Amino acid sequence: MNAALLTLAVPKGRPLGPTLDLLARAGIGSARSLAESRSLVAVLPEAGMRFILARPSDVPTYVEHGAADLGIVGKDVLAEGRHQVYELLDLGYLRCRFVVAGPAGTDPTRLLDGAGHLRVATKYPRVAEEYFRRRGIQAEVIYLAGSVEVAPQVGLADLIVDISETGRTLAENGLVVLDTVMESTARLIANRASYRLRGERIAPFIQALREAVSGAPAV
């Protein structure tokens, strides 16, 4: 590994396009080539950077363990993973929200008044447990790897906690949003040691992203 290069872990898949758009606005237009590359590790010498393309849920792991100095990942991933990284900047895209949803016609006041015992299906057990604990509601959190929308239909759970962007998938499965747990956007994160030891190298990159987010021209 070339220590002079700044290594950034970026999420592949659907988040990659808007991430490369942001990097281009920050003055790293050559990063757009990552979209056409089949390699998951790429060096852009002209930018002085190395890129790791990773699953969104794996980005904080690369950063936490020092394989990457920095990473771009959704707040939803950070909230569930609770990795030991610094969260530096709200990048403002990949906007979605954690929601509590239940069958249409559900009275949210009755269900969320804490009087009864709830079963909640989710792919995000830490976020769900924290939400219900904070509200003083007794809830049995049931982990599912996917398709949590099915759980209330088949009697596995009373409610779900899941990510929602438009609410369309919830509606198609007869569910409505009862409460918002938290909003989520993409965040710039840093390895703690890199942030301390490579501050002079990292600071200009943070500033370029900050200006790109705010709409100021990259210098």
Per-residue pLDDT at 17: 94
Prediction pTM value: 0.85
Q: Diameter of the chain by CA atoms?
A: 61
For residue 219, what pLDDT is reported?
A: 43
Contact assessment for residue 160 and residue 118, using Cβ atoms and an 8 Å cutoff: no
Can you give the pLDDT at residue 215? Answer: 83
Per-residue confidence (pLDDT) for residue 105, from 0 to 100: 85
Which two tokens mark 201? 């190298």
- Rounded CA separation 145/42 (Å): 31
User: Which segments of the chain have a pLDDT < 70?
Assistant: 1-3, 114-115, 216-219
pLDDT attached to residue 107: 77
Burial tier of 64 (Cβ tally within 10 Å: 0-12, 13-18, 19+):
middle
